[in-house]
Amino acid sequence: MVRAGRGTREDAPDAQVDFVQLLSPTGERVEHKDYALEISADEAKGLYRDMVHVRRVDVEATSLQRQGQLALWAPLRGQEAAQIGAGRALEPDDFSFPGYREHGIAWCRGISPAQSARSFRQVTNGGWDPYEFNHAEPSIVIGNNAINAVGYAMGVQHDGAESAVMVCIGDGAMSQGDIAESFVWAAVFQAPVVFLLQNNHWAISEPTERQSRIPLYKRADGFGFPGVRVDGNDVFAMLAVTRAALARAREGSGPTLIEAFTYRMGAHTTSDDPTRYRILAEVEEWERKDPIDRLRTYLLATKAADQAWVESIDAEADVAARELRDAVLSMFGPSPISIFDHVYQEPHPLVDEERAEMVALIGAEEAGSLK
């Protein structure tokens, strides 16, 4: 019965067919017929800086979790190029819908690492004001915000606004019915939405073959919109392809599925133990395609940057990590009473009654003090 998991040779990481790459694993610029990218040294350095920052902050958050300061953390290591490339393609007016691992995209939207950490410290189930950053709260229920994103995009379309929507999904999410419905709706209404699929090869312990026998980007074809597979460890390719897809959406040509072919270098979350289900050799193979290494090689080789600059970025990132740590340690939970604050926007007698019950029970002071 379980015949899956054997095949899908096309999925082998070195297959270059239909695979957009602009910067090779060894740091050389490559051209692609459909995706040109003019990028200045400063822009490239900016991308490098972003990636180093989010990686450093990710390490810090992981260690904060180990020290009991966060309830959980979902590390992004390995996916920096996918997230920074896509995140930097967004315009301020665009609206994005993340999953729980999209700290890199949040970073691009201007959300601080500390804000990203709030839900992992469980002082909130949110983290920031979505309208301030045009970035929704993550959805933890796999796949169910994709159709929300399409609805939002239909609203953008209805407004006649020239902006686009991006929603992040994973290789595992591709099996959820809600994703398929979002594809149907996006196609039928030609909604200005980009589906950013980070195929990081694992859905917790399950390899991509458990979700599909064929490459995932091909899924879009059957719904009537383009799918494209990109080297997800190549920040240039991610930037170029996402920009093109967003532009396409903005001009009314409908949705695109971008499959960022990448790898989750770390555990699924800090609760996970990947040694139970995957071999070290696989991880090592992907180390050699590291997104940050390759951009650094490129920057040094093209003399866009020198070693001193690289070190300065590391130092900057250390500062960001320290800032995150300080912020997390001084982050308090909501007061017990605040759980009643935003159940509804309008008055609600039962909520009022239960709020009063709590106060009667534990006293106004305790009810009102931060946890």
The residues carrying an active-site annotation are 264, 268, 277
Task: Round to whole Å and give the CA distance between 65 and 231.
Answer: 30
Using CB under 8 A as the binding rule, whether residue 146 contacts a second copy is answered as no
The 3-class secondary structure across the chain, one letter per residue, is CCCCCCCCHHHCCCCCCCEECCECCCCCECCCCCCCCCCCHHHHHHHHHHHHHHHHHHHHHHHHHHCCCCCCCCCCCCCHHHHHHHHHHCCCCCEEECCCCCHHHHHHCCCCHHHHHHHHHCCCCCCCCHHHHCECCCCCCCCCCHHHHHHHHHHHHHHCCCCCEEEEEECCHHHCHHHHHHHHHHHHHCCCEEEEEEECCEECCEEHHHCCCCCHHHHHHHHCCCEEEEECCCHHHHHHHHHHHHHHHHCCCCCEEEEEECCCCCCCCCCCCHHHCCCHHHHHHHHCCCHHHHHHHHHHHCCCCCHHHHHHHHHHHHHHHHHHHHHHHCCCCCCHHHHHCCCCCCCCHHHHHHHHHHHHHHCHHHHHCCC
112 binds, among Mg ion, a second copy, ligand TPP, none (CB under 5 to 8 A by kind): none
What residue 186 binds from a second copy, ligand TPP, Mg ion, none (CB within 5 to 8 A, per partner kind)? none
368: partner contacted, choices ligand TPP, a second copy, Mg ion, none (Cβ within 5-8 A by kind): none
- Site track 296-325 with Mg ion (rule: CB under 5 A), x = hit: ------------------------------
Per CB under 6 A, contacts with ligand TPP among 319-358 are none
Contact in structure between 165 and 95 (CB atoms under 8 Å): yes
- Which residues ranging from 251 to 280 are in contact with ligand TPP (CB under 6 A)? 264, 268
Comparing C-alpha atoms, which of 90, 57, 49, 88 is closest to residue 74? 57
CB of 252 to a second copy, least distance (A): 8
Binding flag, residue 141, ligand TPP (CB under 6 A): yes
Partner from another protein, a second copy, Mg ion, none binding residue 200, C-beta < 5-8 Å depending on class: Mg ion
Under the binding rule (CB under 5 A), the answer on residue 170 touching Mg ion is yes
Of the ranges 186-194, 263-271, 309-317, 320-328, which one interacts with a second copy (CB under 8 A)?
186-194
How many whole angstroms separate alpha carbon 234 and alpha carbon 31? Answer: 13
By the rule CB under 6 A, 202 interacts with ligand TPP: yes
Options 11, 80, 102, 171; binder of Mg ion; rule CB under 5 A:
171
Map the footprint of a second copy across residues 164-183, applying CB under 8 A: 174-181
Residue 190 contacts which entry, a second copy, Mg ion, another protein, none (Cβ below 5-8 A, type-dependent): a second copy
Q: Closest CB to ligand TPP among 261 and 298?
A: 261
Asked if residue 200 binds Mg ion (CB under 5 A), the reply is yes
| Binding window for ligand TPP (CB under 6 A); candidates: 90-98, 196-204, 218-226, 357-365 | 196-204
Position 172 contacts ligand TPP (CB under 6 A): yes
Residue 18 near a second copy by CB under 8 A: no
Applying CB under 6 A, which residues contact ligand TPP? Answer: 101, 140-142, 170-173, 200, 202-204, 264, 268
Chain residues in the site for a second copy (CB under 8 A): 1-4, 154, 157-158, 174-181, 184, 187-190, 209-214, 218-224, 227, 252
